Amino acid sequence: MGGVAVVVLAILALVGVMPMALTAIAGIVFGAALLIEGAALASRHNSLMAAASGSEPAMLEFGAGMSTEVVAGVAGIVLGVLALIGVAPQPLLASLVLVGGAGLMFSAGSVRELNEISAAINHLGLAPRRISRSAVNSAIGAQLFSGLAAVILGVLALIPRVGANMVLTMAGLLVLGAAEMLTGSALSGRLLGVLNRRRI
């Protein structure tokens, strides 16, 4: 739902409906969605590792990609709130797009890692593993390209001499929202749910 909200808000901002405010709100929503997704994946990672090792989940560390999502989500929320209250909104929102894109790129392998761990724990056969891996690889590719596009748009939006900086920022948020909608928590939950139902 977070990705859908970001896409809708970014489109409204692009067509001129309170562009600065809606862009900031879209950034906050994206940051919250990324934070929730990272926390959910980290929790799932700890549960799987606890099942595999017998350790308590609280004693296990987050994976690098999952902690990146959490940090990027928190940064997005902070930057969005500051922009919403009028503290240098244009550069802060461009930075939000840049941070969000980098967060997507660095966290792209988290779902694949979790699926591999879950498949090993649940002793899945070759066919289920291939189906899961194929779906995850497609999502990872889309997430990487979306993150790269957002980083480029964010960098261009930070350059003063480039025209239409806010338009670039809104376009970056649109890309981030679409990436979150297509490859975010819904896909993660769906794939992990399939693996959970196969648990022995």
Mean pLDDT, contiguous 10-residue spans, the chain (200 residues):
87 91 94 85 70 53 63 93 92 94 82 66 65 69 88 91 82 91 57 45
Pick from 99, 12, 35: which is nearest to 91 by CA? 99
Helices 19-53 and 64-84: crossing angle in degrees, nearest 10, is 160
* Predicted pLDDT of residue 199: 45
Would residue 61 be called left, alpha or beta, if left means φ above 0 and alpha means ψ between -120 and 50 degrees? Answer: beta
pLDDT for 191:
46
CA atoms of 93 and 104, how far apart (whole Å): 16
How many angstroms separate the CA atoms of 37 and 55, rounded? Answer: 23
Give the residue from 77, 98, 94 showing the smallest Cα distance to 25: 77
Query: Residue 59's pLDDT is what?
Result: 42
Q: 75 and 31 in contact (C-beta within 8 Å)?
A: yes
Domain ranges in the chain are 2-197
> First CA to last CA across the chain, in angstroms?
32
Cβ neighbourhood burial of 21 (10 Å; 0-12, 13-18, 19+): middle
What does the alpha-carbon distance between residue 28 and residue 31 come to, in Å, rounded to a whole number? Answer: 5
CA-to-CA distance for 185 and 200, rounded, in angstroms? 24
